[in-house]
């Protein structure tokens, strides 16, 4: 078996993908573990605030890595370890985005990488109720004793790939994944600056310095979790005393993607200004607000919009429905001083803003 690759896993300090605080890599040669690398590190400056939610998952604190090197200092060692290998990760889109966003906010060049996803491979081959890493690893005969430790998670991802290669008789990594109809994920290469900044970085840059450990523009409980699905929240009735002159008054609003404030809070603000929110796009929808770093001044809409709601909105708009697609900056501009998230660094000292409840 010529099964050669490097498995990788990141843990992050906060909800922004470009905040890696640890990385684990496992080099596989001929289907067996050959070498490992584990590093704890400080995330890129300005994006290095540790969110208690993340700390509760992986146990790494700001104090624990206070003397550790920055991501920019560790990256050459990481890329040297990977060498010419293709990378494997469980939910590889996340780890590729960590690479991309961390390089972007660090102002570094990207060498480019190719990656395959072990969770996709697990879903294609294993018959399991859940393909989360501990369950898929167990099916592969591997005991994952320290879930959310970057090296142990990378080792578990490698075990899944090696087990499935053994079961299917695949001769190499490409044959293994292509036989299941799976596609590579790619980290683009760039020098100087990327042709297009990632959604994760675009989104977080619009939020101001909320992830900067030197400032405290929002309390811990208001830090957005951009890694996971947004809580949809309740659709409240429009406020009876709302100003009918407000641009949200009488509008039917749908949200999709991650915003810099919790979605339930965004829905509350719409209702307070006389608008009605719903959880899906319908014939009555008049405004769709898109998060995830979407900008209306960016590339063609279809190239930036990745959610089903956003695509449905574009389809309806093209068919003639009077529907506006807004990015977060346009939406927050409608709300003016009622918008609870800091969007610009304070001129002198940090200001603590507590979102309305």
Output the six-digit token pair for 259.
């915003």
Contact 5, 34 (CB under 8 A): no
Quick one: tokens of 292?
Answer: 């995830």
Q: Which residue in this structure is represented by tokens 């994944």?
A: 177
| Pairing label, strands 113-117, 185-187 | antiparallel
Q: How far apart are CA 321 and CA 22, in angstroms?
A: 47
Domains 5-202 and 228-338 share a fold: no
Identify the residue whose tokens are 């998060």.
291
DSSP letter (8 states) at residue 322: -
Edge to edge, what strands does the sheet with 276-277 contain? 276-277, 252-256, 287-290, 324-327
How far the first Cα of the chain sits from its last, in Å, is: 58
**Structure tokens of 189?**
């290469």
- The domain locations on the chain are 5-202, 228-338
For residue 326, list its beta bridge partners: 289
DSSP-assigned beta bridge partners for residue 288: 254, 325
Domain 228-338 grouped into CATH 3.10.20.30: no
Write out the DSSP string of 177-235.
Answer: HHTTT---EEEPPBSSS-SS--HHHHHHHTT-STT-TT--SS-GGG---TTSPPP----
What string of H, E and C letters represents the secondary structure of 229-289? CCCCCCCCCCCCCCCCCCCCCCCEEEEECCCCCCHHHHHHHHHHCCCEECCCCCCCCCEEE
Name the fold adopted by 5-202. Answer: Nucleotidyltransferase; domain 5 (3.30.420)
| HSE of 110, CA atoms in CB hemisphere, 13 A | 25
Q: pLDDT digit of tens for each residue in the chain (357 aa)?
A: 589 999 999 999 999 999 999 999 999 999 999 999 999 999 999 999 999 999 999 999 999 999 999 999 999 999 999 999 999 999 998 999 999 999 999 999 999 999 999 999 999 999 998 899 999 999 999 999 999 999 999 999 999 999 999 999 999 999 999 999 998 999 999 999 999 898 889 888 888 899 999 998 889 988 887 776 556 778 999 999 999 999 999 999 999 887 877 788 899 999 999 999 998 899 999 999 988 777 776 555 555 676 788 889 989 999 999 999 998 889 999 998 888 754 443 333 232 222 222
């Amino acid at each position: 078996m010529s099964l050669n690759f490097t498995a990788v896993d990141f843990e992050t300090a906060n909800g922004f993908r470009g905040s890696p605080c640890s990385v684990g890599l496992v080099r596989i040669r001929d289907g067996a573990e050959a070498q490992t690398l584990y590093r704890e590190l400080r995330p890129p400056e300005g994006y290095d605030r540790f969110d208690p939610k993340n700390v509760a998952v992986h146990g790494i604190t700001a104090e624990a890595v206070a003397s550790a090197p920055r991501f920019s200092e560790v990256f050459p060692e990481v890329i040297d370890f990977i060498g010419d290998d293709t990378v494997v990760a469980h939910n590889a889109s996340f780890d590729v985005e960590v690479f991309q966003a961390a390089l972007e906010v660090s102002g570094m060049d990207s060498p480019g990488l190719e990656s395959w996803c072990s969770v996709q491979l697990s879903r294609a081959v294993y018959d399991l109720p859940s393909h989360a890493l501990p369950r898929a690893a167990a099916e592969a005969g591997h005991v994952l004793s320290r879930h959310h430790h970057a090296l142990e998670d990378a080792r578990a991802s490698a075990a899944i790939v090696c087990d499935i290669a053994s079961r299917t008789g695949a001769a190499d990594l490409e044959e293994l994944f292509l036989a299941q109809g799976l596609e590579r994920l790619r980290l683009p290469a760039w020098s100087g600056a990327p042709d297009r900044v990632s959604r994760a970085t675009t989104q977080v840059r619009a939020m101001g310095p909320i992830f900067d450990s030197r400032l405290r523009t929002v309390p811990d409980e208001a830090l957005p979790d951009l890694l996971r699905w947004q809580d949809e929240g309740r659709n409240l009735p429009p406020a009876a005393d709302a100003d009918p002159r407000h641009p949200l008054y009488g509008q039917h609003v749908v949200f999709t993607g991650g915003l810099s404030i919790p979605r339930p809070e965004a829905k509350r603000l719409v209702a307070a200004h006389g608008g009605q929110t719903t959880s899906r796009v319908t014939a009555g929808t008049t405004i769709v607000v898109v998060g995830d770093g979407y900008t209306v001044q960016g590339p063609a809409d279809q190239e930036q919009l990745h959610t089903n709601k956003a695509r449905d909105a574009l389809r309806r708009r093209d068919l003639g429905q009077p529907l506006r697609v807004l990015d977060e900056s346009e939406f927050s501009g409608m709300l003016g001083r009622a918008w609870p998230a800091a969007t610009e660094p304070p001129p002198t000292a940090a200001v603590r803003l507590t979102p309305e409840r």
